[in-house]
Amino acid sequence: MPNFLELFQGLGSLAHAGPAIIAARVGLILLGLLLVYLGKKGVLEPLLMIPMGLGMAAVNAGVLFLDPATAHQIVGGSAPLADVVAQQQVAAAAQAGQMPGTLMLAPLVEKTDNLMYILQIDFLQPIYTFAFSNGMIACFVFMGIGVLLDVGYVMARPFQSMFLALMAELGTVATFPIAVAFGLTSKEAASIAMVGGADGPMVLFTSLSLAPKLFVPITVVAYLYLGLTYGGYPYLIRALVPKRLRQIPMPVRKAAPISSGAKLAFAVISCTVLCLLFPVAAPLFLSLFVGVAVREAGLKDIETFIGGPVLYGSTFFLGLLLGVLCEANTILNPVVLKLLLLGMTSLLLSGIGGLLGGYVLYFLSGRKYNPVIGIAGVSCVPSTAKVAQKVVAEDAPNVMILPQALGANICGVITTAILCGIYIALLK
């Protein structure tokens, strides 16, 4: 039997682990397989969830025994272990020559010598170190989002769109004091509160800046919960908006078309003003609006490049790295349960805030505004706008609210970036 476990070290490391680690590893492998299945079925975003699920399964299956002298998972500063007992178990394993680890990557590397060693051993470490840990992947994703956005929807209804987006930041704001009451530091509280914006790159950027030791579980929680915007928000809409209000038609007005020059000017001015006000979030603003500028300037080859290889490649590797970062020791950290609860609370409050904003416009318009549009203020572009249109279409197939929803959706990206800048400026 020992020879068998030495030959198949994934099983051997599992056999030598404690009950909590065994349960966490097996559970995460199964969760990874589930994410792949849900991605294939289209329940969750396949481009993100398939590599994330496969990475999650692989990293928890591929644990082997490393030489304690070079076991970077410990000396490099891996994700925080569950508790003092777990650290003692690891120390004992090192003395016995049975240091568990993987050949994927080490997230928190504090010593240069360790980093140079890891870059040569862990196959995903170069991508993580040079494109993930500095937030560059988040900026690339934002740039790709920019080339997909038509800011004309915002310019056609600027005040309505911005009002709904601000209301939909309820979770991003209200979760902060709740998280502090749960025992998190102000920086950690701000990072998990950003989940309410339903904007994964923004959560990644904020947590890297404010809570680097928790950015792995916070970012994983954010991306896992983005699926709730598909599956959970329709139930929230039906619970808070009666059918007769969901059927309210929105007037189709033939406004003068907005020129590409006007859209380009909007992007340039917005980028400059927002960078002036919130320089700590300037990389995000620049990335978003340079994408918009490329689109409106008619740079077709660059637009194709950013909207294709840059966006899809960054999203793919983002999912893969998040999955690989989901190892058992990270999930066993007691703070993860708090993050799960707070992340769900933040998304729920943001959805409620958006719908409340929709009700405000409903009454101000003389009961002629469809309040479902408010949910699109949650900035998961374009998912929440599509969710709003889909729910309305189920009750009233001829009612079109997508133009108004997209305006709120795009503004949601901007307001979430502003909240990110405010949190980092005040707390860093």
Is residue 379 located within the same domain as residue 416?
A: yes
The predicted structure's pLDDT at residue 110: 57
Q: With a cut of 80, say whether residue 188 has pLDDT above it.
A: yes
CB 31 within 8 A of CB 331: no
169 and 120 fall within a common domain? no
Computed over every residue of the chain, the mean pLDDT equals: 85
Taking only the tens place, the pLDDT of each residue in 390-400 is 999 999 999 99
Domain co-membership, 256 together with 346:
yes
CB atoms < 10 A from the CB of 258, how many? Answer: 17
116/214 same-domain check:
no
Which of 203, 219, 235 has the alpha carbon at shortest distance from 351?
A: 235
One domain, residues 331 and 419: yes
Euclidean distance between the first and the last CA atom of the chain, given in angstroms as a whole number: 53
Confidence label for 85 from pLDDT (cuts 50, 70 and 90): very low
Q: Identify the domain boundary among 88, 116, 132.
A: 132
172 has pLDDT over 80: yes
Mark which of 132, 163, 196 sits at the end of a domain.
132
HSE (CB half, 13 Å, CA atoms) of 96?
A: 12
Return the DSSP state at 242: -
Q: How far apart are CA 216 and CA 81, in angstroms?
A: 13
State the pLDDT at residue 412: 93
**pLDDT tens sequence across 136-158:** 998 999 999 999 989 999 998 89
Look at residue 135 in the predicted model and tell me its pLDDT.
83
The DSSP annotation for 279-334 comes to GGGHHHHHHHHHHHHHHHTT-HHHHHHIIIIIHHHHHHHHHHHHHHH--HHHHTST
pLDDT at 201 over 90: no
Q: Do residue 15 and residue 151 come from a single domain?
A: no
Q: CB–CB of 269/257 below 8 Å?
A: no
Q: How sure is the predictor about 113, in pLDDT bands with cuts at 50, 70 and 90?
A: low
If one counts every other C-beta atom within 10 angstroms of the C-beta of residue 391, the result is: 20
Could you give the angle at the alpha carbon of 140 between the alpha carbons of 228 and 33, nearest 5°?
40
Q: How many domains does the chain have?
A: 2
Contact (CB, 8 A) for 371 and 245: yes
Identify the residue with better confidence: 161 or 95: 161
Nearest-angstrom CA–CA distance, 363 and 354: 15
pLDDT band for position 112 (50/70/90)? low
Query: Radius of gyration over alpha carbons of the chain, in Å?
Result: 23
Pair type for strands 64-66 and 99-101: antiparallel
State the Cα–Cα distance between residues 400 and 405, nearest whole angstrom: 10
Q: What is the mean pLDDT of residues 88-102?
A: 56
Q: What confidence score (pLDDT) does residue 80 get? A: 40
Comparing 3-17, 36-50, 207-221, 329-343, which segment has the lowest mean pLDDT? 3-17
**DSSP conformation class of 8:** S
Output the six-digit token pair for 128: 């993580």
Q: Tokens 């299956």 appear where?
A: 61
Distance CA(14)–CA(12), nearest Å, equals 5
Does position 88 have pLDDT exceeding 50, yes or no? no
Give me the pLDDT at residue 73, please: 44
How many angstroms separate the CA atoms of 316 and 51, rounded? 7
Q: Give the Cα separation of 49 and 34 in Å (integer).
A: 9
- Nearest Cα to Cα of residue 370 among 383, 386, 357: 357
pLDDT at residue 45 is higher than 90? no
Q: Which two tokens stand for residue 85?
A: 């007992």
Candidate ranges 116-130, 311-325, 346-360, 378-392; pick with highest mean pLDDT: 346-360
Same domain, residue pair 345 and 408 = yes
Do residues 122 and 194 share a domain? no
402/57 Cα distance (integer angstroms) = 38
More confident position, 202 or 374: 374
What pLDDT is attached to residue 286?
94
pTM of the model: 0.83
Instruction: Report yes or no: 291 and 299 within 8 Å, Cβ to Cβ.
Output: no
Of all residues in the chain, the percent with pLDDT exceeding 90 is: 52
**Stretch 299-316: mean pLDDT:** 94
What residue numbers bound the domain in which 356 lies?
Answer: 136-427
Residue bearing tokens 């995460």: 28
pLDDT tens digits, 59-83: 898 888 776 555 544 443 443 434 4
Q: What is the pLDDT averaged over residues 189-215?
A: 89
159 and 230 fall within a common domain: yes
Give Cβ neighbours of residue 169 (< 8 Å, ≥ 6 apart): 196, 197, 350, 353, 377, 415, 416, 419
Name residue 101's beta-bridge partners: 64
Q: Are 206 and 191 in contact (CB under 8 A)?
A: yes
For residues 232-248, give the mean pLDDT.
94
pLDDT at 72: 45
End-of-domain residue from the set 132, 163, 178: 132
64's tokens: 């082997």
Whole-number pLDDT of residue 291? 95
Q: Is pLDDT above 80 for 358?
A: yes
CA distance linking residue 359 with residue 54, whole number of Å: 42
Helix (H, G, I), strand (E, B) or coil at 66: strand
- 55 with 178, same domain: the answer is no
CB 409 within 8 A of CB 229: no
Backbone φ and ψ of 157, nearest 5°: -140, 65
DSSP string, 82-151: S-HHHHHHHHHHHHTT-EEE-SS--S----HHHHHHHHHH-TTHHHIIIIITTSHHHHHHHHHHHHH--T
Residue with tokens 């994330």: 52
- Domain check: are 164 and 123 in the same one? no
What is the per-residue pLDDT for 121? 78
Cα separation, 38 vs 31, in Å, equals 10
| Residues 103 and 192 grouped into a single domain | no
Q: What is the mean pLDDT of residues 190-202?
A: 90
**Is pLDDT of 333 > 80?**
no
